[in-house]
């Protein structure tokens, strides 16, 4: 039977995921206003800037929900998997607000996301949670993770190809890193929200999260949300799993691993095929 504290953590994680994903949809809707620079603060652009700022605030508020969720679950990969719930909300937002068509592919994707997140949640056990980490190992793995993106980012800057995919993946990776850092900050502070402000990890988490938000806008400028969002969310799920195993010694059960793969597959199915006929190179 699931512990009530863990269930409340899942609910907070899901709320954070909804804010993050719907917020991204709102940002993408008005991201072009940023091209106007300081003129965006003047008429007739101010309203569009306000809408974009609302989306940005929604996405940023996800960090508060995630922090509270981590305090109750202490397993970032499980909370990250809740991003699938947020994508369900994004599909509803697209259909109702943006008036985009939602067909069988999207419905199948939603079903897979719900099944995957339910599996990850149901198979959670406290025995899976690791409690210690090595600072040098953290820096080594984080540096290696960022180093992996040097060549892909250089490639897309030089050629303009796969812009949304690469910058979206980098943004998702940084969100994943920020969740690990946020978890460490809460652990070091004994679960105290104010106590975590005394250590460096919460500030590193904020830096990683803010960088991810900025890179998401960079990705949106030259790519579709249906490319950027699923790629970003997939890496947001994968990175905590890899870092938890490498740094915190957390054991992910085979069932949880399958559930996460189902979530990722559902994300891709639900969003990547929404605009048939668009060349893959456009990403």
As averages over each run of 10 residues, the pLDDT of the chain (283 residues) reads 78 89 89 88 92 91 83 70 77 78 74 76 52 68 83 91 86 85 79 79 87 88 76 78 72 82 78 45 39
Half-sphere exposure at residue 70, Cβ-oriented, CA atoms within 13 angstroms: 30
pLDDT given at position 3: 76
Within-domain flag for 30: no
Within-domain flag for 23: no
Within-domain flag for 196: yes
As a dihedral over the C-alpha atoms of residue 34, residue 37, residue 42, residue 43, rounded to 10 degrees, the angle is -50
Within-domain flag for 211: yes
Q: Which residues contact 154 (CB under 8 A, 6 or more apart)?
A: none
Nearest to 111 by CA among 276, 272, 273, 270: 270
Torsion 41-45-47-53 (CA) sign: negative
Within-domain flag for 4: no
Within-domain flag for 180: yes
How many domains in the chain?
A: 1
Within-domain flag for 15: no
Question: Rounded distance, CA 170 to CA 165, Å?
Answer: 9
pLDDT given at position 276: 39
Within-domain flag for 73: no
User: What ranges in 31-75 are assigned the alpha helix state H?
Assistant: 46-73
Peptide bond into 138 cis (omega under 30): no
Domain with 209 in it: 83-282
Nearest to 123 by CA among 270, 251, 280, 221: 251
């Amino acid at each position: 039977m699931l512990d009530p504290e863990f269930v409340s953590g899942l609910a907070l994680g899901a709320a954070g995921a909804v804010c993050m994903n719907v917020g991204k949809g709102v940002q993408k809707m008005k991201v072009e206003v940023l091209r106007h620079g300081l003129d965006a603060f003047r008429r007739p652009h101010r309203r569009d800037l306000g809408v974009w700022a609302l989306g940005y605030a929604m996405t940023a508020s996800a960090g508060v929900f995630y922090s509270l969720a981590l305090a109750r679950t202490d397993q970032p990969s499980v909370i990250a998997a809740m991003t699938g719930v947020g994508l369900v909300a994004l599909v509803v937002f697209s259909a109702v607000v943006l008036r985009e068509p939602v067909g069988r592919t999207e419905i199948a994707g939603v079903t897979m996301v719900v099944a995957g997140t339910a599996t990850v949640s149901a198979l959670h056990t406290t025995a899976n949670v690791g409690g210690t980490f090595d600072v040098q190992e953290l820096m080594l793995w984080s540096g290696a993770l960022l180093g992996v993106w040097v060549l892909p980012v250089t490639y897309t800057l030089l050629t303009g190809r796969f812009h949304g995919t690469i910058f979206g993946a980098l943004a998702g990776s940084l969100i994943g890193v920020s969740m690990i850092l946020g978890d460490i900050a809460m652990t070091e502070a004994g679960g105290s929200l104010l106590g975590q402000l005394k250590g460096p990890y919460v500030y590193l988490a904020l830096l990683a999260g803010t960088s991810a938000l900025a890179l998401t806008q960079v990705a949106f400028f030259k790519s579709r949300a249906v490319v950027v969002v699923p790629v970003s969310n997939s890496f947001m799920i994968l990175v905590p799993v890899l870092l938890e195993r490498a740094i915190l010694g957390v054991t992910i059960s085979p069932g949880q691993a399958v559930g996460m793969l189902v979530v990722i597959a559902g994300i891709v199915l639900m969003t990547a095929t929404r605009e048939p006929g668009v060349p893959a190179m456009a990403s």
